[in-house]
Amino acid sequence: MSHDSAPPAAHTPLLAIEDRPVDGHGVVRRIAVDRPERLNALNSATLDALHAAFDAAAADASVRVVVLTGSGPKAFVAGADIAEMSGLTPAEGRDFSLRGTRMMRRIEKMPKPVIAMINGFALGGGLELAMSCHLRIAADSAKVGQPEINLGLIPGFGGTQRLLRLAGRAATLELCLLGAPVDAARAHALGIVNRVVPAVDLETETMKIAEQLAIAAPLALRGMLDCVNVGGECGIEEGLEYESAQFGLIFSTEDMREGTQAFLERRKPSFSGK
């Protein structure tokens, strides 16, 4: 994959966005929360900017994969913005929670793979943000956790629910009740992150995975994401029926014909997303 960057896909003081072309297969869009002076904390404006950025990535046919990270050497996202939260009323607190939940649901339901590149602290809202992504690659120096108990709070952007589904009841209660972060190796052992790599190799290794996804069949990727999302929220029979329906639909695609023919001809497939 070429690492020469195309012009920024968008401009906002809260996000740094760039497109990295993959030869013949669109681009990998890199979105970084860009508030390093606040350890990339999520305030209302940043939540809105992220929501808009993922809407734009979903609508842009050239974008095959999104990589989400944080600017600066210390943090992916160190949490929600405590300065903003401290003065909220109960009604405003609920609205803030719903704002973050909607944005993270937008990521979770993206029709294209989203990789969290966890370059440092992913705490509170930062871990919730990472968990809304489809894959999580962490630097060996990263730390993750749900420390809201130390503020007299509970997770508000889906932390209890996604952590429960990723790591199970025991780990969820440990991280939420005790509020202590865990290192990347423990996060990997608990199933919170998919891979841990040396910090100096984080960008390179993440982009290798992004490139692999960028050249894969886009409609098949979308079908898999849809099936996992549906299956995670319904009973087994409904999930199996949905998978069979999606499997059948794939047979109408040019990519399915290309993939099977390439296999029979013992060559690499070239998927068009049609």
Q: Could you list the active site residues?
A: 128, 148
Count CA atoms within 13 Å of residue 162 on its CB side. 25
Region of residue 54 (phi > 0: left; psi between -120 and 50: alpha; otherwise: beta): alpha
* Residue 85 and residue 92 in contact, taking contact as beta carbons nearer than 8 Å: no
What amino acid occupies position 55? Answer: D
For the residues of 128-159, what is the DSSP string, one character each?
A: HHHHHSSEEEEETT-EEE-GGGGGT----SSH
Region of residue 168 (phi > 0: left; psi between -120 and 50: alpha; otherwise: beta): left
3-state secondary structure (DSSP) of residue 163:
helix
Structure token pair of residue 137: 């690659």
C-alpha to C-alpha distance for 95 and 135, rounded to whole angstroms? 28
3-state secondary structure (DSSP) of residue 66:
strand
Residue 203: φ, ψ to 5°: -65, -45
C-alpha to C-alpha distance for 217 and 70, rounded to whole angstroms? 28
